Amino acid sequence: MRRVLAFVLLLLGALATVLAATSVWADRALLDESGWERRATAIADDPAVATAISDAIVERVTVPVPAAAERRLRVAVATSLKEPDVQIAWARLNRAAAAALLAAARGEPNDNVNANGDVVLNPEPLLESLAERNPALAQVLAEHEAREIVLVKASELDPLRKATDASDLAPPVLVALAIVLLGLGAITARSAGGALAATFVCLLGACAGVLVAFLAARDQALESSKSPLADTIITSTFETAQRPLAIVVGGACLIALGLVAVVSGLRARARG
């Protein structure tokens, strides 16, 4: 019975640890405008970015673009994206996307919400920056109609609102809960080795769960996306957030193991 109780406490502590680390990561990576801007700058040279922007331009042109002109357009976009000022415009577009989503989630007044309540994005500054770098682009863009990019439909904002609300309260509560549960589990366990082994297994399972949830969230966001450019913003956000998530969760797991080792050691010394 004691062994089962110790395992349950350590399991709950491991889950609280991983959830606390994930909530801290989400607050700093996904729910922060500057984080989106930094990630956008880092992947500005990605061919997928140039392809998405080219697709967005072609979709906005009022008359059909000949195949040869479209090829030149795509080359021009890829070349222009290597320029620092265009990369800055791309980064600002991503920051604007983050600001629009978060403001809508928090219920704050927002110019990026249309009459239907959808969160929309105006890519005009980016397109103008591209046109300034390349006359061929300027000629094509001169024929396009201004059209907003729908990032998130109004009906799909509830999960984001809940995540934003939870991010303010979850980290401190989960950290405190993890410390208490892991400490109690280490005290209840029969041996330090058993406590560490059980904690390691539980942490491993919790990390696997976070990975599955991360991939599911990415796929769901892509399914709800309404444009290639929005697809690229979402994909770049998740791809560049993978490593920080692994670092934060991995560090939290090491701290949890260290806490269990210390408490188990102190308990063994007290018994001795």
Question: What is the pLDDT of the chain when averaged over all its residues?
Answer: 76
Q: Answer yes or no: are the C-beta atoms of 74 and 53 closer than 8 Å.
A: no
Q: How many structural domains comprise the chain?
A: 2
| 54 and 6 within one domain | no
Is residue 224 included in any domain, yes or no? yes
| 234 and 188 within one domain | yes
Is residue 47 included in any domain, yes or no? yes
Is residue 270 included in any domain, yes or no? no
| 244 and 169 within one domain | yes
What is the domain range of residue 99? 40-155
Rounded average pLDDT over 83-100: 75
Q: For residues 74 and 51, what is the distance between their CA atoms, to the nearest angstrom?
A: 7
At 12, the pLDDT band (50, 70, 90 cuts) reads very high
| 46 and 21 within one domain | no
Is residue 34 included in any domain, yes or no? no
What pLDDT, on the 0 to 100 scale, is given for residue 61? 59
| 25 and 74 within one domain | no
Residue 254 has pLDDT above 90, yes or no: yes
What pLDDT, on the 0 to 100 scale, is given for residue 205? 92
Residue 186 has pLDDT above 80, yes or no: yes
Is the pLDDT higher at 207 or at 88? 207
| 115 and 77 within one domain | yes
| 132 and 44 within one domain | yes
HSE-CB of 170 using CA atoms within 13 angstroms? 18
| 167 and 258 within one domain | yes
At 79, the pLDDT band (50, 70, 90 cuts) reads confident
Q: Domain ends where: 139, 155, 171? A: 155
Q: Domain ends where: 130, 155, 180? A: 155
DSSP character string of the chain: -HHHHHHHHHHHHHHHHHHHHHHHHHHHHTS-HHHHHHHHHHTTT-HHHHHHHHHHHHHHBSSPPPHHHHHHHHHHHHHHTTSHHHHHHHHHHHHHHHHHHHHHHTT---TTB-TTS-EEE--HHHHHHHHHH-HHHHHHHTTBPP-PEEEE-GGG-HHHHHHHHHHHHHHHHHHHHHHHHHHHHHHHSS-HHHHHHHHHHHHHHHHHHHHHHHHHHHHHHHHH--SHHHHHHHHHHHHHHHHHHHHHHHHHHHHHHHHHHHHHHHHHHHH-
| 45 and 19 within one domain | no
What pLDDT, on the 0 to 100 scale, is given for residue 241? 74
Is residue 272 included in any domain, yes or no? no
| 126 and 97 within one domain | yes
pLDDT digits (tens, 9 = 90+) for 125-147: 777 777 776 666 666 666 555 45
Mean pLDDT: which of 15-29, 32-46, 219-233 is highest? 15-29
